[in-house]
Chain A
Amino acid sequence: MRFGLLIFLALLLSAPLSAEEGRLKIETVRQGMGPPIELGEVAVVAHKLTVGDDVLVEKSSVRNPFPFQYGAKNIIPGLNQGIEGMKTGEKRYLEIPPHLGYGSKDMGLIPADSTLFFEIELLEIREQLEESEDSSDPTDMGEDLHLRFQDKDVLNKRHAQDITKPAMFEYLIRDFFTKPWRYEDGHLVVWRSVGKMFIALILLFTLALWGRKKGYWSL
């Protein structure tokens, strides 16, 4: 009876853990601005995809961004779900479980049943893909990806990009596109800063009056 109770408790405790393991985890690192991305729009992102013990699989940057259509069938479901409601300039960490990623397929650098770790930053929202970017064919997706992740030259090139320190220019471009005035809700960013500074002003003013009353300084 006692043994049965222990098993029941163990199952009860492990149940939420298993459910948690199978879910997509989204962590917003930095808030964005402007309207959120909508289905069918093109997300231009800078991203880093790693698996296992921080093994780098794929990387894009501000200078070489990765554009894809939000909601398209040739994008893994986890990525489509992970960017839901994302705004320009927003940065997220995604932990995509295998069933929302590549499942039990062995994709070369991505072993079967791998959890995918995405570091993704939305640089721009476009209405449609440019002609040069629209080369994906959903029908041969599996084979295309299989080759893509086994192409040593491509991987070496991407790893080399990762080793190289990002250029100053990249950050200047990113700053240029994240100026608050560019976005409808950009003024809210400034208003929030005003609020914070106002609190600091009240505290400092109280300190000034307190010090004057105590005779620590004369204003």
Chain B
Amino acid sequence: MRETLILTKLYFLGSVRRQVHLATLFLGVILLMLPSYINAFSLGINAFERVSKDFGLTLIAYFAVGMAILIASSSIPRDLESRSLYPILARPVERYQYIAAHFLSLCALLACSLLFLGLCLTTSVSALTRALDLSIFVAIFTSFLQASVVGVLTMTVSTVASPALAGTAGAFIFLVGSLPGAFVRFFLVEDRENQFAATAATALKSVIPNLSVFSLKDPIVHQIDFHPSYLLAVVFYALVWIAVALVASSILFGRRDL
């Protein structure tokens, strides 16, 4: 456990040194200005608060997934390419600890970025409405869970594939996983003449996480109540997927001849 935490800190600081956070800062500035712009164009219609939250949360969710895919797809292949992996594995560090450290550093980076972006959005909205509303952090938390799930699955692919292939796989997982009912049914299942495609689509749906459960933007923005147990269920759903992906990536990386 200690070795994993030391490696996590090392990889987190490595990401900071590579100035990954500059993109976060840039988006933070946009989020700070966003409500003022929307307010200026709303022409007296008092909907800017909802529009700002909706737009801001959408930006944050996509940013988090993009960041997770970019970092997760390149972190392990970069270590292999630069040969910085060998001195680490020469020490008493198991391969699963190495994988877990990469994932934890990604989570830490995502958490810091999303916390900062959430603060930017809350500040800018609160400044105009003169009321502090922290509910958007619930939606940001589920975006964090979604990005973590996509990130860990991308990392699993990156243990055996190139960064480009892993990144593409991550994007594919995100697209299909966030619109499972729409895309898969529309293109394949509803086409009843093609039974093979329908079977393939059903199989695909069962091995890809249903990312639409993480989208809590609508109930937060429009203040719709949802069951208190729903959030807990979503947290467990993400945790189980993360655990499955970490075990799978440990097996795949453990079989790899380095």
Contacts and interface: CB of A to CB of B under 8 A. Distances in A.
Given A190-B213, A198-B240, A208-B247, A171 B230 contact: no
Interface size class of A (residues with CB under 8 A): 20 to 34
B85 to A, nearest CB: 14
Q: Specify the main secondary structure of chain B where it touches its partner.
A: helix
Contacts of A147: none
Given A171-B181, A171-B185, A219-B254, A197 B244 contact: yes
Contacts of B255: 216-217
Interface stretch (A110-118, A135-143, A176-184): A176-184
B190 A197 contact: no
A186 B247 contact: no
A191 B229 CA distance: 9
A197 B230 contact: no
B244 to A, nearest CB: 5
A175 B181 contact: yes
A166 interface: yes
B251 interface: yes
Contacts of B45: none
A179 B233 contact: no
A117 to B, nearest CB: 15
B160 interface: no
A178 B218 CA distance: 13
B95 interface: yes
A197 B227 contact: no
A180 B213 contact: yes
Interface residues of B, number: 36
B41 interface: no
A201 interface: yes
B243 A201 contact: yes
A168 interface: yes
Contacts of B179: 172, 175
Interface string A188-213: 00110110011011001101100110
B247 A179 contact: no
Contact of B233 (A175, A187, A217): A187
Contacts of A212: 254
B250 A194 contact: no
Given A171-B185, A181-B216, A187-B229, A219 B237 contact: no
Interface of B: 94-96, 179, 181-182, 185-186, 190, 210, 212-213, 215-216, 218-219, 224, 226-227, 229-230, 232-234, 236-237, 240-241, 243-244, 247-248, 250-251, 254-255
Interface of A: 166, 168, 171-172, 174-175, 178-182, 184-187, 190-191, 193-194, 197-198, 200-201, 204-205, 207-208, 211-212, 216-219
Closest 6 CB pairs of A and B: A217-B254, A190-B233, A197-B240, A187-B230, A181-B226, A217-B255
19 contacts: A171-B181, A172-B179, A175-B212, A179-B215, A181-B213, A186-B227, A187-B233, A190-B233, A191-B233, A193-B237, A194-B233, A197-B241, A200-B244, A204-B248, A204-B251, A205-B247, A219-B94, A219-B95, A219-B251
Given A194-B233, A194-B240, A219-B254, 13 more contacts: A166-B186, A166-B190, A168-B186, A174-B181, A175-B182, A175-B212, A178-B181, A182-B224, A187-B229, A193-B213, A197-B241, A204-B251, A208-B247
